[in-house]
Amino acid sequence: MLVYEIIVLTVVFLTSIGLGMHVGLANLFRAFQDWDALLLVLFGQYLIMPLLTWVAIHMVGGEPQTDMSIAIVLLGPGSEAAAAGVFLARANLPLAVISLVLTNIIGPVLGPELIDLIVQPEPAMSGPVLTAFSDILSIFFLALLAPLAIGMTVRQLARAPQANFETPFRVFIWLMLALTVIYAALMQAFEPPGVEAAYAFHELAGIVVVTILAYILVFGIGTLVGIRAENAIAAAFIVSLQPVAVSLYVSNNLTDAWPKLTELAIGYAMVLPFMIAACIFVIQRRLPFVRRR
């Protein structure tokens, strides 16, 4: 478990430094001018995602632990992986970083409340789980802010063109996405027997469908209300792609075994890089329904 925590926090730290090196403080302030896109992120994160999660629970859930597991995987705040996807898609990265920070500020407070409202579990079950969820979100928020500040400071001190950092960071992101699949596959191969028995294809499929629908809905709503495509793409990434490491941390920090949550988190980690790659492929191909500025 210690090795896993070190690996995850190291990846989050390095990714956040890279994001900070590509935004700059001035660009972050300018991103606040896109207030309509920020409202779209909040609308998607705290209305669209909870509604889709409620539908998923009623379609593929049924047992209290399964329902809680689905909600924890789907109702995390924006993730570094989502912001990295925005960078790879050449969308509005400063807006994505602001959205990432904003949702991670609100997440530890509002996230557990949404899970409790949607699932309505027994207090004996929800108490430890939601406490762990809130505490871990707070830890990840601190792990996000400090390296972002470091990255922006490095960029300012280096006084090098942003393009100098772009290619190495792009290679790093693709490498991390590939290693995520490999690492999740290894976790799947060597997981305890209780976790293997908890594998449920239908629950994972429901989570993937919710992710895809959330991306389409957020991007579609943004396009309909006149938000620029690069901003709508950034909002769709932040809302739809969840921080899978949070789910695994919650599972590993619970006193009682939660094999269903562990299995769903591992499965989501395996498919997340492919969903990011698919979104980028669609955007770069510039299909008719993806209009760029």
Residue keyed to tokens 């400063």: 94
Domain hosting 45: range is: 2-285
Residue 118 token pair? 């949607």
Of the listed ranges 13-22, 155-164, 189-198, 269-278, the one predicted with least confidence: 189-198
Q: Would you state the pLDDT for residue 125? A: 66
Q: Are the C-beta atoms of 208 and 216 separated by less than 8 Å?
A: no
Q: Would you state the pLDDT for residue 65? A: 82
What mean pLDDT comes out for the span 104-114? 86
Which CATH number characterizes residue 203's domain? Answer: 1.20.1530.20
Mean pLDDT of all residues belonging to the chain: 81
Three-class secondary structure of residue 100 per DSSP: helix
**Residues across the chain:** 293
pLDDT tens readout for residues 139-192: 777 777 888 888 888 877 776 555 567 888 888 888 888 888 887 787 777 765
Q: Would you state the pLDDT for residue 176? A: 86
Structural domain includes residue 133: yes
Structural domain includes residue 260: yes
Residue 4 token pair? 């896993």
pLDDT tens readout for residues 208-253: 999 999 999 999 999 999 999 899 999 999 999 887 777 777 777 6
Structural domain includes residue 292: no
Structural domain includes residue 291: no
Residue 58 token pair? 């009623």
Confidence of residue 42 (pLDDT cuts 50, 70, 90): very high
Q: CA 118 to CA 129: how far, in whole Å?
A: 14
Residue 215 token pair? 């991306």
Q: Would you state the pLDDT for residue 214? A: 93
Instruction: Tally the domains of the chain.
Output: 1
Q: CA 270 to CA 187: how far, in whole Å?
A: 10
Q: Are the C-beta atoms of 239 and 214 separated by less than 8 Å?
A: yes
Of all residues in the chain, the percent with pLDDT exceeding 70 is 86
Structural domain includes residue 90: yes
Q: What is the CA radius of gyration of the chain?
A: 18
Confidence of residue 53 (pLDDT cuts 50, 70, 90): very high
Structural domain includes residue 293: no
